[in-house]
Each structure stands twice: as C-alpha cells, then as structure tokens.
Chains A and B, each alone.
Chain A
Amino acid sequence: MVTESDTESIQVEIVPSRFLMPATAQKLLNEIYGNGGIIRIMIHGPNLPRSVPYGPGRGVPIEENRDLLIEVGGQAFELCVKVGRIRLELESEKYFDGLKAACERALPISFQIKRGKFFHTRQTITDYAKFGKVEDTRILGLIDPKAKKDRMAILSEERVTIDDEER
C-alpha cells in the first residue's frame, strides 16, 4: 500500500449555495488568506460586464459593476466576476481543516467544500496561444480558456498587478 505524503499539495473547491456579495467575498478571501498555505487561488463565477454588451442599450455603462474593489491581505484588486466558486491549491493537507473553519466563519450561507483535482497540469493549445511556453506551471488553469490573460491577478508580497481593460 502506498502511503500518501502529507507534504504534498492538495486542491480544494469551495462552492457556496448562493453567489457572494463583494463584501462577503472579501471576508471569505481574507479568512482563506489568513489561514495560510495558499499556492494559488481561482475565483470563478459569471462575468460582470462594465457596460451593456449587446442589444439596444449596448455600451451603456453598468455602474453597479464598476469599482468593485476588494482588499485581500492588505492589497486591493478589482472583482470582474460574481464570486460563485473558489478553487485553490494548498501547500499541504494540514491547512485543510483551517480552511474549512475559515469558510464557516466567513460565510453566512451553506457551502460545499471538496478535495479533488481542479487545475490542469499540461499546457493546452489555448494556454500556448495565451502565454507562449509556460515556464511556471502554477498559472495553468487559473483563468477561463475564453478569458483574456489580463484577467489574472498576481498577488505577491511586493505588488498586485491586474490590467482590467474597459470592456
């Protein structure tokens, strides 16, 4: 029998039963951040366009979707989606229980949390078109194949970068 090493990274998906308001999303992300051990994280949900994309009202700005700034770990970035699902990779299994407790603290609604494999490991053609040859495989699976690559925010200790274009 093969015993799994407890130092291997694990992937987790958190699915709240409802879409989160930016304030709740911020609270949840901060709790997750405070728990530590994050290698990478993906926020998933329906797109929030900055202006009406089509129809007779095309181009009319949607003020409700603008400037949805949230602050995570002392760094601010802009939300582009309604948060409905969070996938993340943790350094090891020992952070999992803390993550579960963090979700329970932050979410006023029920949620599902499950372990599995949620990020792909091999580069796809779309990744190739978007990034060229990927050196750092941590970026694989972080953004929707159809989304532009600037949807990815790099939050590090030094800086936050996100170039969110007007759409």
Chain B
Amino acid sequence: MAYTPQYYPGSTSVGINRRKHMSGNLEKLRDIPEADVTAIMGHRAPGADYSSTHPPLKEMGEPDCPVRQLVAPTAGAAAGDRVRYSQWTDSMYFAPSIPYWRSYWGAINCKGVDPGTLSGRQIIEARERDIEAYTKAQYDSEMTDVALCSMRGCTVHGHSLRLEENGMQFDMLSRTEMGADGNVYAVKDQVGIPLDKKVNLGKPMTEAEAKKRTTIFRADGVPMCGKVGVRKYDEAVEALHHMWELRSKWGFRPE
C-alpha cells in the first residue's frame, strides 16, 4: 500500500484545512493572469526579460556530481534567474492561511524555495520564474482571500489589526481597494508603487466562508481543543501535548 503522509492531526475544520494546505490539495477559486501577478510582485515589468545571476546551467558546465545528476533543476535555476521574493500578510480575522501554513505549503510543495515565517507575515524566496509560478498558485487557490490577505513587500502592518469597515485588512499604503462593484482591486504593487492598470482580484469571501476555510484556531471560531464540552480533546491537542512532552524530555538522561 502506498504511503499517505499524515500532515496534521485532528478532526476539526481547521485541522482538515491545515492538512489541505500542507498536502497542496487545494481548491482553485480564481484565475488571475500571470502578467497581473508579475505586475503586483513588482520585480520586473510583465513581458520583460528575467535578470540573471549566472549563465544557464547548460552553458556553465557543471562538475560531475551525483546529486546534480539526480535532482533536476527548477526552470528558474536552470536559466540562472535572480532570487526574488513574494511576501504575504494574512489577517488574524479568519484569513484562510496563516504564516506557518504558507511556509509548510511552500516547503512541502515547492521546489527550490526558502520560506521565512514571521509573526504577521510570510515570505518565500526562490528563483524569479519559480516564485512567479508559486505566487500565482497561492493567489488562485483557497489559501488566499483577496480581502483578508494581501501581498506586501514592505509596510506589512495589518495582520493583527482590526479590519476596515468594508471588511478589508488594514493597509497603510492602500495597495488594494474595494471597488463599487464589490470586487477587490490591486492598485499598487507589493511595495506601494502604483500599477499602470488596476487588477481585478475578484470578490472577497463572506465572513462565513472565511471561517469555513481558515487555518486559524480561535476561541471565537474553532478552538484547538475541538468541540467545547466534550470529554475528550481533539487529536490536535493530544498530538501537541505529545510533542511537547518529547521535546521537554529530549536529551534528558537521568543516569
């Protein structure tokens, strides 16, 4: 029987969503054109050449190395692209993804990436054409709600702040805006430079849907212990206690 990885324990909706994020088996909710994702990332103009740090690997003549023969380089690495980043800020008000789960998704499902997890933001670095593909995958999938998540290269403030009246995550630089038609538009790139044209990101999730898709345990949503009042905690807490116990005892050898 083929091995199926067990990514995360628990039977709560959050546990199930966390497993989905880690396994990469995500629902596609929207389709934002590649050129628009490139424009929002702001590293190069859509259609422009990729800048490179070294010649393509084929031209370089690599040393005889069994690991290099075993592992196929990613498209970006093969072409010698520069390393670029995309950084996300997800609201703690039931955003579908949270920094750790974006990182798990990146580390498990993407090749040649360096995910960085911070308290209120999450960054992934990779070769430029790879990170563009990974960013598009994040934008299009249920990891992202266009109102509660946004790409912020700098001035990332917003994760732990109250939402705005219209349900958008607060953004000091106003990189996204709610249109009169109820769609969210990206008007600036990651670092706050205005885009040539607004990018329609589609409609945001309703509050109920965001709560359904979230990977955040919250006392006013789905608590980590599972259903309140049951005699047995959810498996997520038991597994956490187990890991905590092993970690606390790790290396302790009473002899």
Contact = CB atoms under 8 A, between A and B. Distances in A.
Same complex origin of A and B: yes
Interface of A: 16-21, 24, 46-49, 52-57, 60, 62, 64-65, 82, 84, 108-109
Contact of A53 (B155, B161, B164, B165): B155
Interface string B116-149: 0000000000000000000000000000000000
B32 interface: no
A19 B161 CA distance: 9
Contacts of A57: 154, 188-189, 191-193
Q: Dominant SS at the B interface?
A: loop
Q: Which 9 A-B pairs have the closest CB atoms?
A: A55-B154, A64-B174, A52-B192, A57-B192, A57-B191, A57-B193, A55-B191, A56-B191, A19-B164
Interface in B86-110: none
Contacts of B172: 46-49
B157 A46 contact: yes
Contacts of B189: 57
A60 B165 contact: no
A62 B174 contact: yes
Nearest to A55: B154
Given A57-B191, A57-B192, A60-B194, A17 B155 contact: no
A60 B174 CA distance: 12
Interface of B: 42, 153-155, 157, 161-166, 170, 172-174, 177, 188-189, 191-194
Q: Dominant SS at the A interface?
A: loop
A52 B190 CA distance: 12
A83 to B, nearest CB: 10
Given A46-B172, A49-B172, A18 B164 contact: yes
Contact of A17 (B153, B162, B193): B162
5 contacts: A18-B162, A24-B165, A56-B193, A57-B188, A64-B177
Contacts of B193: 52, 56-57, 60
B160 to A, nearest CB: 11
